[in-house]
Structure 1
Amino acid sequence: MARLNRTAARLMRQYNAHACTDVTGFGLLGHANNLAACQKADVSMVVHNLPIIAGMAAASAHLGGAFGLLRGTSAETSGGLLVAMSRTDAAEYCKALEATSSSDGGGAAWIVGVVEAGSRSAVIADKPRIIEVNAAGNTE
């Protein structure tokens, strides 16, 4: 909710995005499932990295995982964008977005997973890497 998506959208065109969705009420996993289900090819999305607000992994553990945060199923309000593009384009896209000032909609970006041949679904890896993000959008 801290940035507009205008810059991210402009850069998506420049870096050949294949698909995109915002991450909101269905959580990262739910939106990745929706994105995989809409592809022309039979693919699966495997999420290896979970960017979350700093301190929330500990809070989630304390609450017994009740809200699905570490399973990618927690509902979010403007949780960011999930963009599908080639690995090379994704790395360059993240660099370009991070090089843009936050006042222009830029900021931190992460490659959260991979797309592979599959059954039009998404999964969270068994032990995803938790990326703790502070209020300024920086990793800790």
Structure 2
Amino acid sequence: KRSLYVCSSLQPLPGLVRHVGFGKLKNLANQEKYNEEVSEHDLGQIDEPLVYVRNALAHGRISANETNDTLRLIMFSRPKEKRVTVLFNEKMTEAWFVDQYQIVDAATKLVANAILVICSSVKISQTNETP
């Protein structure tokens, strides 16, 4: 199994890196909450790597060594003593985009199915009262 992110040793904090703290990332908390909610229905889980990619796209940096080089998506940790850890480091190749599209598509279908299953088991009452 290929890892979607790489953790490395602490690196000097470059001037272009500014970390904005959000406490526990809300998206990961939402992913955990979703997985907890659907677990009783055995509807499948949303994997953490999807959340890591989302966070890297939202909070990471995109760079390349040369003009024609493949872009690289990098996300750093919060600074500790003016040093950061690389949390995510991935080349943004065409194959990478295809993989991410397939992962997001599968997760979207999983959530759509969960909505159908869970909502079909909820009794909705309707009244014909006029205000």
Structure holding more helix per residue = 2
Report 1 or 2 for greater relative contact order, CA contacts < 8 Å, sequence distance ≥ 6.
1
Larger radius of gyration: 2
Q: Please say whether Structure 1 and Structure 2 have the same fold, judged by a TM-score greater than 0.5.
A: no
Structure holding more strand per residue = 1
TM-score (norm 2): 0.25
TM-score (norm 1): 0.24
